Homo-oligomer: A and B are copies of this chain.
Amino acid sequence: MAVNLAVFNDFLPVQGVRIGIASAGIKRVGRKDVVIFEVAEGGSIAGVFTTNAFCAAPVTLSKANLAHQPRYLIINTGNANAGTGARGMVDAKAVCQALAEKTGVSAEQILPFSTGVIGEPLPVAKITAVLGDALTNLAENNWFDASNGIMTTDTQPKGASRQFEHDGITYTISGISKGAGMIMPNMATMLGFIATDAAIEQSVLQQICQECADVSFNRITIDGDTSTNDSCMLIATGAAGNAPVTQASGALYEKLKAELRDIFIELAHAIVRDGEGATKFVTIKVEETASKEEALQVAYTVAHSPLVKTALFASDANWGRILAAVGRAGVKNMVLDAIRIYLDDVCIVENGGRAVSYTEAQGAAVLKNAEFTIRICLGRGDVQETIWTTDLSHDYVTINADYRS
């Protein structure tokens, strides 16, 4: 079950990025499970990584190697190389070393990413054996195959792509993500790889990557669990020929950031839509707050409440559960009477209780849809934040309890 949109297959190539795919048979013979991104010399790469204190060895290595003008990204599925102790780092480095030898760059110029089973040693030999295959088929138009190649238990590949013009130059952005499907003992690793042909100064690229991730990948939640391997990478090749963008670039800087943000959000939404057992795609907007922090506190408390999530699954407009979740979010000095809660445009809570105008039929009409917004107005400021989540269904329990891959 999922709330997916149609599979995306309209990728625009991004000049300066070539992608190669191979099958190492890590988990299943014949499955494409190794993807290599090659970034032309002169490109920049930025990244945002999991905040889990126990990040996997490839994450630690990729973070460090970002400083060495990386030229290649290598992603494997089927094994997360997480919870693998000291051996994890040795194995991650071995893969980078092998790719370095085949490409003539230094091992520090390679960023490794792994997703899949945790606690099992990375099958290094299987991966290095197919590096040649992947390098042989490097091509600019391999984005769709890559979107398939990074899937684990996702029910469909995820991608987004667009072009825009500015001052006579056409810029292209393409990206892929993988997400929240997790079958024991896997983790819900989120990966995002986005590239543009704009030239962007590295420190600015990092800032843009962080800002875009903060309103996209960092604003989605299926079940509150954070993987040891989550990573989101942004590549800027410079092939479009513009003068490198800095924060002083004005309109182009703003335009690029807005377009990238939209792509990031599309890719993040695709992960939520493919959430395990999801039957609803739910936007939670918290408005009129005194700070970003309290807006997010309330939004995540509502999004993570099993009582709210099961009510959404049941298409039950259970305003009492939402109100109680707001109340326990830890925001100081909230005034109950000031709070209004809406399902799309239907006011369900005001003046400390169920809205006088509210009827169950109104709530049911909204919740029968597969997508809707819960809007919570705290009446204590002018800050707002938005996050996206799903319901909690029988299928979620089934997927996470009954199967073992």
A396 at interface, CB cutoff 8 A: yes
Who on chain B is nearest to A89 by CB? B352
Distance between Cα atoms of A351 and B86 in the complex (Å): 8
Residues of B within 8 A of A188 (CB): 307
Residues of B within 8 A of A305 (CB): 223-225
Distance between Cα atoms of A329 and B188 in the complex (Å): 16
Residues of B within 8 A of A396 (CB): 306, 310, 397
Q: What's the number of copies of this chain in the assembled complex?
A: 2
Interface positions, chain A 53-70, Cβ under 8 Å from B, are 53-55
Q: Which among B86, B398, B400 is the interface contact of A352 at CB below 8 angstroms?
A: B86
Distance between Cα atoms of A119 and B360 in the complex (Å): 13
Residues of B within 8 A of A119 (CB): 319-320, 353-354
- Min CB–CB distance A371 → chain B (angstroms): 19
Distance between Cα atoms of A55 and B324 in the complex (Å): 9
The answer to whether A328 touches B225, judged by C-beta atoms less than 8 angstroms apart, is yes
Interface residues of A (CB under 8 A from B): 51-55, 82-86, 88, 118-119, 182, 184-185, 187-188, 223-228, 304-307, 310-311, 313-314, 316, 318-321, 323-329, 331, 334, 336-337, 349, 351-354, 392-394, 396-398, 400-402, 404
Residues of B within 8 A of A321 (CB): 184-185, 187, 225
Residues of B within 8 A of A352 (CB): 54, 83-86, 88
The answer to whether A313 touches B401, judged by C-beta atoms less than 8 angstroms apart, is yes
The 3 closest A-B pairs by CB, nearest first: A54-B327, A310-B400, A314-B401
- Min CB–CB distance A88 → chain B (angstroms): 8
Who on chain B is nearest to A328 by CB? B226
The answer to whether A318 touches B83, judged by C-beta atoms less than 8 angstroms apart, is no
Known contacts A84-B353, A184-B311, A306-B225, A393 near B397 by CB under 8 Å? yes
15 contacts between A and B (CB under 8 A): A52-B324, A54-B327, A55-B327, A83-B320, A85-B337, A118-B324, A119-B354, A185-B321, A224-B304, A224-B306, A227-B324, A314-B401, A393-B401, A394-B398, A394-B401
Residues of B within 8 A of A354 (CB): 83, 119
Residues of B within 8 A of A314 (CB): 184, 400-402, 404
Known: A224-B305, A306-B306. 16 other contacts (CB 8 A): A53-B331, A53-B336, A82-B320, A83-B323, A83-B352, A224-B306, A225-B328, A304-B304, A310-B396, A310-B400, A310-B401, A316-B401, A392-B397, A393-B401, A394-B397, A397-B397
